[in-house]
Amino acid sequence: MINSSETQKSELIRRYVVVGSRRFSNYWWASIILFGGFGFLLTGVSSYLNSDYLPFINSKNILFFPQGLVMCFYGILGLIFSCYLWLTLFWGVGGGFNEFNKKQGIVRIFRWGFPGKNRRIDLSYNIKDIEAIRVEIKEGLNPRRILYIRVKGSTTCFTSSQNSEGKIYSKNSVKNLSTKNTNNVGGVTQNLSLQNKRDIPLTRIGQPTTLEDIEKQGAELAKFLQVSLEMI
C-alpha cells in the first residue's frame, strides 16, 4: 500500500505493490555501513601490522592496543550488520502486494519473509468479511501512520505458512483450529481465535509515509470496497 512502487487499478481489481526493504534509504545505509566497517577494520589491521593500507591514515600514530583493537571490533560489527542489511535487500523482506479482487471476491495479502517456513506469507480473506478501513495516525516523537482492514468475526483465511508439524492449513483446518484455541479465565471463556474481529495491517509499522498519502489511499480503498473509513 504505502510506499508502493506500482499500483494496478481497474473496476474490479486493485493491486498495490509493496516495496518492503528495497527502499533507497536501506541501500544507502547498507552501503555507508559497509564502507565504514571496512575502513575501521583496515585501520585496526594497519595499526597492528604497522603498515598504511589506507592512504589517508598514518598507522604509526595509532596504537594497536587499545585504539586499533577497538577499531577492529567496530569494523567487524559494521561488516556483520551490513551483510544483514544486504541479505534483507537481496531477499526482498517485507515486499509483496495487497490485492483487492471483486471478481473473485477475495482480499489477498502477500509478503516475502526470511528464508524458512515463513518465506512466503500469503493470506486471503473473503471480501464480504471486510467491515471497514481503519487509518491510525499518531503524531509525536514516534509517529505512527498505519492502514488496516477490519475483518469481522467468524472469518477464515488461507495461509501458506506451515505449522510445527510441517502441515499447510487449509481453509477448514484454520477455522477448526481457531475454535479450539480458547482459555477459561475466572469462569469466562475467552476466544483467542480468528472468530474475533481483527485489524489486519496493510502497511508495515514504522514505514515512512505522508499523512496525505495514507488518508488518500484509505479513502480510495473504502470507496472501492464500499465500507466505512475509520480515522483514529
Q: What is the pLDDT along the chain (232 residues), one digit of tens a residue?
A: 444 444 556 788 999 888 889 999 999 999 999 999 999 999 999 888 888 888 877 777 888 888 999 999 999 999 999 999 999 999 999 999 999 999 999 999 999 999 998 899 999 999 999 999 998 888 777 777 889 999 986 545 555 544 433 333 334 333 433 434 444 433 333 333 344 568 888 887 656 677 788 888 899 999 999 999 988 7
Half-sphere exposure of 85 (CA within 13 A, CB side): 18
C-alpha span between 57 and 82 (Å, rounded): 23
Predicted pLDDT at 206: 56
Question: Are the beta carbons of 147 and 135 closer than 8 angstroms?
Answer: yes
Predicted pLDDT at 197: 66
The string of DSSP codes covering 158-204 is B---B-TTSPBP-HHHHHHHHHH-EEEETTEEEE-STTS-EEEESS-
What is the distance of C-alpha 113 from the center of its chain?
8
Question: Are the beta carbons of 123 and 109 closer than 8 angstroms?
Answer: yes
C-alpha span between 133 and 201 (Å, rounded): 10
C-alpha span between 83 and 41 (Å, rounded): 15
Predicted pLDDT at 177: 37
Nearest partner of 20 among 72, 99, 96, judged by Cα: 96
Predicted pLDDT at 191: 32
